[in-house]
């Protein structure tokens, strides 16, 4: 019995108290009443409720390495790795889900509690968003649509270009019209326009090309037929 009591006293002597402090923002008084923090280790889990001093106090924490989490339905807080030593000493680092447990960064500053026990301040990550807010109606979002922008640019070109041509001086306008007539795209898109174009594309006959003939062969057929008729008349004898 004495051995058991001595071992229990040694365990209590080696245990320490860890305090987690909430930051000033968000206001701790606005947090839900069910907000609490946990210290988790293999085979052990400690829980502490939010106190009036806006802290989480864990009593009788034995030596070991713990994961500290603050559970709040409205706000998120960064998890901590807390290492408790045998001599009532403790160190803490910010940790991240999925990282190696031995991957440590810069140690957090120690913030002792009123009773002198070690404590640390947790960092707030911001408000938790469970639902996506519907965006409000905005005229700019409609105007920034690529299809609307293309339509506006086309409208400006179709309306502004004729006005620009009308305001040209006669010499510049004549040069512009001449360059438009010499443009090969006009004969292709306009089908030649019923006028003789300098470009050979305007006189191109697609039907004759697909039929395997050309205009020279078609045009030479009439003279050949006429010459054949004259030769037959000459060879025919004169009846007396």
| The domain boundary residue, chosen from 168, 191, 214 | 191
* DSSP for residue 106: S
Q: Is residue 198 part of a domain?
A: no
pLDDT at 134: 85
| The domain boundary residue, chosen from 127, 151, 183 | 127
User: Which residue range forms the structural domain that includes residue 53?
Assistant: 15-127
Q: Is residue 221 part of a domain?
A: no
Is the predicted pLDDT of residue 192 greater than 60, yes or no?
A: no
- Residue 155 sits in the same domain as residue 120: no
Whether 58 contacts 44, CB under 8 Å: no
The pLDDT tens digits of the residues spanning 194-207 come to 455 445 555 667 67
Question: Considering only 100-114, 139-153, 163-177, 178-192, which range has the smallest mean pLDDT?
Answer: 178-192
For residue 48, which of 94, 117, 96, 108 has the smallest C-alpha distance?
Answer: 117
Say what the pTM is.
0.54
- Residue 61 sits in the same domain as residue 156: no
Distance, CA of 70 to CA of 73 (rounded, Å) = 10
Q: Per the structure block, which two tokens stand in for 43? A: 């085979």
The pLDDT tens digits of the residues spanning 91-138 come to 999 998 888 888 888 899 999 888 888 999 999 999 998 888 888 888
Q: Is residue 240 part of a domain?
A: no
pLDDT at 165: 77
- Side-chain half-sphere CA neighbours of 37 within 13 A: 30
Q: Is residue 149 part of a domain?
A: yes
pLDDT, mean of residues 169-186: 77
- Residue 101 sits in the same domain as residue 172: no
pLDDT, mean of residues 22-44: 91
Q: Is residue 182 part of a domain?
A: yes
pLDDT at 84: 93
Question: Considering only 33-37, 111-115, 165-169, 181-185, which range has the smallest mean pLDDT?
Answer: 181-185
Total domain count, the chain: 2
- Residue 39 sits in the same domain as residue 91: yes
- Residue 22 sits in the same domain as residue 121: yes
């Amino acid at each position: 019995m004495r051995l058991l009591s001595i071992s229990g006293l040694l365990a209590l002597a080696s245990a320490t108290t860890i305090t987690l402090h909430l930051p000033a923002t968000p206001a701790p008084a606005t947090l839900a009443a069910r907000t609490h923090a946990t210290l988790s280790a293999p085979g052990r889990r400690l829980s502490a409720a939010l106190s009036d001093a806006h802290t989480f106090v864990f009593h009788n924490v034995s030596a070991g390495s713990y994961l500290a989490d603050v559970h709040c339905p409205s706000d998120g807080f960064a998890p901590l790795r807390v290492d408790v030593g045998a001599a009532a000493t403790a160190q803490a680092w910010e940790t991240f889900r999925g990282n190696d447990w031995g991957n440590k960064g810069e140690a957090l500053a120690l913030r002792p509690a009123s009773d002198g026990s070690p404590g640390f301040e947790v960092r707030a990550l911001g408000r938790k968003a469970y639902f996506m807010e519907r965006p409000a109606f905005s005229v700019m979002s409609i105007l920034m649509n690529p299809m609307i922008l293309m339509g506006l640019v086309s409208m400006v070109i179709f309306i502004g270009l004729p006005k620009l041509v009308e305001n040209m001086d006669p010499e510049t306008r004549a040069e512009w019209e001449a360059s438009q007539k010499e443009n090969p795209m006009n004969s292709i898109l306009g089908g030649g326009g019923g006028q003789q174009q300098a470009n050979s594309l305007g006189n191109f006959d697609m039907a004759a090309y697909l039929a395997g003939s050309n205009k020279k062969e078609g045009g030479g057929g009439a003279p050949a037929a006429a010459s054949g008729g004259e030769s037959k008349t000459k060879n025919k004898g004169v009846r007396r």
